[in-house]
Amino acid sequence: MRKVDLLIIGGGSAGLAAAVEAYDRGIRSIIIIERGAELGGILNQCIHNGFGLGEFKEELTGPEFAYRFAKQVQDRNIECHLLSTVTSVTPNKVVTYVNEEEGSVEVEAKAIIMAAGCYERNAGAIGVPGDRPAGVLTAGQAQLMINKFGYLCGKRIFILGSGDIGLIMARRFTLEGAKVLGVAEIMPYSNGLNRNIVQCLNDYDIPLYLSHTVSQVIGKKHVEKVEISQVDEKFRPIPGTEKVFDCDALVLSIGLIPNNTLLSDIGIKVSGTKGAEVDQYLQTSLPGVFSCGNVLHVHDLVDNVVKEARIAGESAARYIQGDLHVEEYDISCAAKDGVGYILPQHISGSDYEKVDFKLRVRKPTQNVYIEFIYNGETIKRVFKGVIIPSEMEVISLPLSLFKEKKGALEVKLTPKEVNQ
């Protein structure tokens, strides 16, 4: 069986940045396994600009950003297997991948970086009532069809879900000459970034129906109409509030889920993000297996993916070189009242002087403190006038705050008192 130092699953922005970092830290035996025909992952279908402001101080399109990272990988002669899918990982780090030329190949790795991105929730996941005609597809599928293959999925389109991909696609469809009749969002607020609501909906007079969902899909062979209804506090459609739109496509932007089953299948602990539980080195509960990018938690900015991937690349290199110290601390980190998730879920060592905590809140909230409570004592409070789920918060705390080096950290929202 072939043996390598580092095997990376996925050649998107996370996998590529992690590979470059590990190489630059002295690891030479690296292979990247990528299911697609080219490196770059989801970026290759995101032809709008807005990528890379942090990384390259330039506004790039997704493919331009991907190209720059793919070139760094090629310049270092890092081995990449394209059109190759990883089908299993074992607890002793034997990875099986398949492709047309080599068939099924087993590789034993000293370390693995999981960077397989995420997948979209589809119609089956929400069970929309009504017919099952053609013309119901996810925003990512619609984006791939138009940006890579030149097919517009409809001329009169309705969008369910106000996630960023849905918003970006509303603008894209409009620019390509389709009529976007509206976007329905089941929550009383949008799940997309504010800038995308302004630039993709408001600028094109596309209505956003908050607290609404699709209550009926109508059509024999192809979508003919979509009915939406306002929902009550339990998200049930309210009779009498129906609105019907004549349309030929229903596009779903209803959430992304980390593509983490290769790790969860072998018992690696899973967190509230549906990605793996990790410590501050991004090491999972199986030593030598690391995770980064959208497979760990869904990111809205590629710059954050790259920063995270560099940590995974550095940690994997240190693990291979026998220089990753994870014994000194043993602190569990949990999200409580109002906080949807926190990452890392565990603090284990002292190689860095601080820990960067990433978190998202459950719903838009005003005038609150993000409160960090360690072994029952508040060690940090950060005031937020407004905090929304679509924007990830990053808060750094020095390791010196965790004096006992063991125990539990809880992170929650506490309202600011009027006289505070």
The two tokens of residue 24 are 């630059």
Q: Applying CB under 6 A, does 402 fall inside the site for ligand FAD?
A: no
Q: Which two tokens stand for residue 110?
A: 């000293």
Task: Convert residues 141-170 into a mask of x (bound to ligand FAD by CB under 6 A) and - (unbound).
Answer: --x--------------------xx--x--
Q: Judged by CB under 6 A, does residue 64 bind ligand FAD?
A: no
Compute the least distance from the CB of residue 49 to ligand FAD, in Å. 8
Q: Does residue 18 touch ligand FAD according to CB under 6 A?
A: no
Closest CA to 10 of 98, 105, 109, 113: 113
The candidate with the shortest Cα–Cα distance to 168, out of 185, 183, 149, is 183
- Count of residues in contact with ligand FAD, rule CB under 6 A: 35
Q: Tokens standing for 390?
A: 């679509």
CB of 222 to ligand FAD, least distance (A): 25
Using the minimum distance from each CB to ligand FAD, give the nearer residue, 78 or 411.
Answer: 78
Report helix, strand or coil for 174. helix
Select from 302, 343, 355, 359 the one that contacts ligand FAD (CB under 6 A): 302
In angstroms, give the least distance from the CB of 81 to ligand FAD.
9
By CB under 6 A, name the one of 73, 86, 170, 359 that touches ligand FAD: 86
Is position 305 an interface residue for ligand FAD (rule: CB under 6 A)? yes
- Taking CB under 6 A as the rule, does residue 34 contact ligand FAD? yes
Query: Cβ atoms within 10 A of the Cβ of 288, count?
Result: 19
Q: Compare residues 35 and 380 and give the one whose CB is closer to ligand FAD.
A: 35
Among 412, 415, 416, CA closest to 339: 412
Q: What is the CA radius of gyration of the chain?
A: 23
Q: Give the span between the Cα atoms of 101 and 7, in whole angstroms.
A: 19
Question: By the 8 A CB rule, do 16 and 69 touch?
Answer: yes
- Per CB under 6 A, does 241 bind ligand FAD? no
The CA-atom distances, in angstroms, between 55 and each of 39, 40, 86, 382 are 18, 15, 29, 27
Read off the DSSP letter of residue 200.
I
Least CB distance from residue 322 to ligand FAD, whole Å?
28
- Least Å from the CB of residue 80 to ligand FAD: 11
Instruction: Find the angle CA(208)-CA(209)-CA(213) to the nearest 5 degrees.
Output: 130
One residue of 108, 131, 227, 300 binding ligand FAD per CB under 6 A: 300
In three-state form (DSSP H/G/I as H, E/B as E, the rest C), the secondary structure along 223-259 is CCEEEEEEECCCCCECCCCCEEEECCEEEECCCEEEC
Work out which of 29, 36, 47, 352 binds ligand FAD, going by CB under 6 A: 36
Stretch touching ligand FAD by CB under 6 A, among 32-40, 148-156, 217-225, 374-382: 32-40
Sites of contact with ligand FAD (CB under 6 A): 9-15, 33-36, 41-43, 46, 50-51, 85-86, 115-117, 143, 164-165, 168, 259, 293-294, 299-303, 305
